Amino acid sequence: MSKDILFLLAPGFEDNDRREFCPECAELWGVLSYFPAIKEALDIQYVDIEHPRAPICDFLGDGKWNAPTLILADGVETSNLSGVRVDRGKSHLGSARDIAKYFAQKYGTPMPRGSR
């Protein structure tokens, strides 16, 4: 895998008998709109709200379907990253804040306020 894959919930879905959106996914879309060059470096895929989210499970295994999730490209150095998990041999980040911190380290964007 040569590109990081960012899995996001689509902006606007039906759940809990109403239309909703994922605040963490929206946070990442904000980061990507601030720094659009990052979008070109990613493979961005939308997943549905329903579980299991097969495209994510295909990489990480059953029960691993959090969105947002960033699956890191093969060979990415992870020793200085916070929040990295490894499932089925794939390093991944599962929170908007950790993903934004990764973008800061990899692409030189500012760090998210309040993060360490």
Mean pLDDT, range 16-38, rounded to an integer? 95
Residue the block writes with tokens 């993060």: 115
pLDDT for res 21: 95
pLDDT for res 115: 83
The Cα angle at residue 99 between residues 95 and 91, in degrees rounded to 5: 85
Question: 55 pLDDT exceeds 90?
Answer: yes
| Sign of the four-CA dihedral 26, 28, 32, 33 | positive
Mean pLDDT, range 77-104, rounded to an integer? 95
pLDDT for res 110: 95
Mean pLDDT, range 27-44, rounded to an integer? 96
Question: 116 pLDDT exceeds 80?
Answer: no
Mean pLDDT, range 21-49, rounded to an integer? 96
Among 65-69, 77-81, 110-114, the range with the most confident prediction by mean pLDDT is: 65-69
pLDDT for res 57: 96
Domains of the chain plus CATH, in order, are 4-107 (3.40.30)
99 — pLDDT class (breaks 50, 70, 90): very high
Question: 25 pLDDT exceeds 90?
Answer: yes
Q: How far is 116 from 50, CA to CA, in rounded Å?
A: 33
Six-digit token pair at 27? Answer: 């946070």
